[in-house]
Amino acid sequence: MHVCQSLEKINTMKLEDFIHQNRSAFEEEGPGPRVWAALEKELPAKQPARIVSMMAKHWWKAAIIVALVVNAGLLVKFLNAKQEVAYVVPEMEEMQVYYTSKIEQKLEELNKYPAEQLGLDSTTREELKLRNETYLLLEKELMSNPGNERIRAAMVRYYQMKLELLDKILTEQDKYHNVTPSNKKDVL
């Protein structure tokens, strides 16, 4: 202790001046590596990378949404072509009740999951709704042309695609909810 003290320069001046003049001697080494290691994990993600990874994770949802939109576009084209081949099909109402109840049931199940967990944007959510614009358009056309086979076929296809999409989303959510060590690899 005596040796250490004698090696240091003894100063007789104001405290502030002494500290300012010996400022570097008051500095310690930097922080340990754990600080950067922890920070690295919290770095704001690159925007393009985030979008790419989100697309990679939800690509199939995107693909089905695109298919639904294209389908809706084709329907509009059909309707604009004003096909007048009308047949009265008695099971139409039954088919409509079957699919709408199924879809509504799936939508109810889906709504039980928190929005952030589903990872669906507002456009996708809108597309998933049963009574969205496309549905209303089809319904209106069917009301005025109840027997139009092409409209009926298009509507069935529309219902089926929506049901398929909802099933896939629900299956994925089930997987995430029931992660066990044995199936973790499959889920991830």
Partner 1 sequence: MPVTDQIVVRCRKGDVRAFRELYEAYSRAMYNICLRMTGHAADAEDVLQEAFVQVFKNLEKLTSDSSLTAWIKRIVVNHCLSYLRKKKVYFEEVGEMDAAEEAVVDEGAYAFTVSAVKEAIGQLPDGYRTVLNLYIFEEYSHREIAEMLGISESTAKTQFMRAKEKVRQLVKVKTKEV
User: Which residues contact partner 1 by CB under 8 A?
Assistant: 1-2, 4-5, 8-16, 18-20, 22, 25-32, 34-36, 38-40, 42-49
Least distance from C-beta 14 to partner 1, angstroms? 5
CA 103, 91, 141 angle in degrees (round to 5)? 70
**What is the enclosing helix (H) or strand (E) of 47?**
helix 47-57
State phi, psi for 57 to the nearest 5 degrees: -70, -40
Q: How far apart are CA 180 and CA 183, in angstroms?
A: 5
Least distance from C-beta 117 to partner 1, angstroms? 23
For partner 1, the closer of residues 26 and 184 by Cβ is 26
Lookup: tokens for 60: 């199939």
CA dihedral of 129, 161, 102, 91, whole degrees rounded to 10: 110
For partner 1, the closer of residues 32 and 181 by Cβ is 32
Least distance from C-beta 56 to partner 1, angstroms? 17
For partner 1, the closer of residues 16 and 84 by Cβ is 16
Least distance from C-beta 23 to partner 1, angstroms? 8
For partner 1, the closer of residues 42 and 91 by Cβ is 42
Terminal-residue alpha carbon distance, the chain: 60
Q: How far apart are CA 161 and CA 139, in angstroms?
A: 17
CA dihedral of 6, 8, 13, 14, whole degrees rounded to 10: -120
For partner 1, the closer of residues 22 and 144 by Cβ is 22
Least distance from C-beta 41 to partner 1, angstroms? 10
